[in-house]
Amino acid sequence: MRILVIEDEKKIADFIKRGLKEEGYSVDIATDGEQGHFLATTEEYDLIVLDLMLPKIDGITLCRRLRDEKVSIPILMLTVKDSVKDKVKGLDSGANDYLTKPFAFEEFLARVRVLLRRAESTQVAKLVVGNLVLDLLTHKVTRAGKEIELTAKEFALLEYLMRNKGVVVTRTMLSEHVWDINFDTLTNVIDVYINYLRNKIDRDFNNKLIHTVRGRGYILKE
């Protein structure tokens, strides 16, 4: 899952990004409303975390603009304003949920999971390729009925490959959707994680699912 955090306070933005990455999410940061608008309308995200008080374009205006432009990505709005009137204003602007600062990170994560589950519920609950099954609700992965233990990053990588089954995904696509836009594509981290997945997914089976397409990227197919 890829999340855009639009927050101008660096300490808060870094705190949120670090916590979300530890949970296996790919996170990009925008420090003002204009940059946030650009990223939200040019990149693919599963969730936007939007601060209310932003330079250049404030959170309410940005939220309304995104909804007017038919951007349907779930939005979790953050603000120090906790009056009912302010919450109603935020929700009326198109936000899906509203969280007041300061907040417990556990509650923040819970709200993130709820919004992502709501978005997933309109799609499929499980991804299936051959006898490989990834459950989006329980985060369990099985092949031929045998459960496979994956780290958060391995799960995110496999999920992206399965969502794009039969399609060649490039290193750039993987770096942006599983890591973030600042990821150094010259490193071999992607290759390392692909090998981790192969050892767990394909090692005990004659029918290999993860394939390298030389000079282009990777593909997951039966």
Q: 133: part of which helix (H) or strand (E)?
A: strand 132-135
Measured in degrees and rounded to the nearest 5, phi and psi for residue 132 equal -95, 125
Please tell me whether residues 141 and 172 are part of one structural domain.
yes
User: Distance between CA 91 and CA 63 in Å, rounded?
Assistant: 9
Q: Is the pLDDT of residue 139 over 80?
A: yes
pLDDT in tens, 21-71: 888 888 999 999 999 999 999 988 999 999 999 999 999 999 999 999 999
Please tell me whether residues 94 and 134 are part of one structural domain.
no
| Number of separate domains in the chain | 2
Confidence of residue 15 (pLDDT cuts 50, 70, 90): very high
From residue 90, how far is each of 52, 125, 137 by CA, in Å? 8, 30, 28
DSSP state for residue 123 in the 8-state scheme? S
Span 101-116, average pLDDT: 87
Confidence of residue 114 (pLDDT cuts 50, 70, 90): confident
Please tell me whether residues 10 and 58 are part of one structural domain.
yes
Confidence of residue 16 (pLDDT cuts 50, 70, 90): very high
- In this predicted structure, what is the pLDDT of residue 219? 92
Look-up of token digits 């089954």: 165
User: Distance between CA 36 and CA 40 in Å, rounded?
Assistant: 6
Q: Is the pLDDT of residue 123 over 70?
A: no
Q: Last residue of some domain: 103, 121, 139?
A: 121
Please tell me whether residues 14 and 106 are part of one structural domain.
yes
- In this predicted structure, what is the pLDDT of residue 133? 94
Q: What is the pTM of this model?
A: 0.64
Please tell me whether residues 212 and 186 are part of one structural domain.
yes
From residue 15, how far is each of 10, 108, 160, 176 by CA, in Å? 8, 12, 25, 20
Domain that holds residue 202: 126-220
- CATH for 49: 3.40.50.2300
* Displacement of CA 133 from its chain's centroid (Å): 20
User: Distance between CA 30 and CA 192 in Å, rounded?
Assistant: 29
Q: Is the pLDDT of residue 185 over 70?
A: no
- CATH for 130: 1.10.10.10
Q: Last residue of some domain: 121, 147, 166?
A: 121
- In this predicted structure, what is the pLDDT of residue 119? 67
Q: Are 86 and 131 in contact (CB under 8 A)?
A: no
Span 148-172, average pLDDT: 89
Span 156-173, average pLDDT: 87
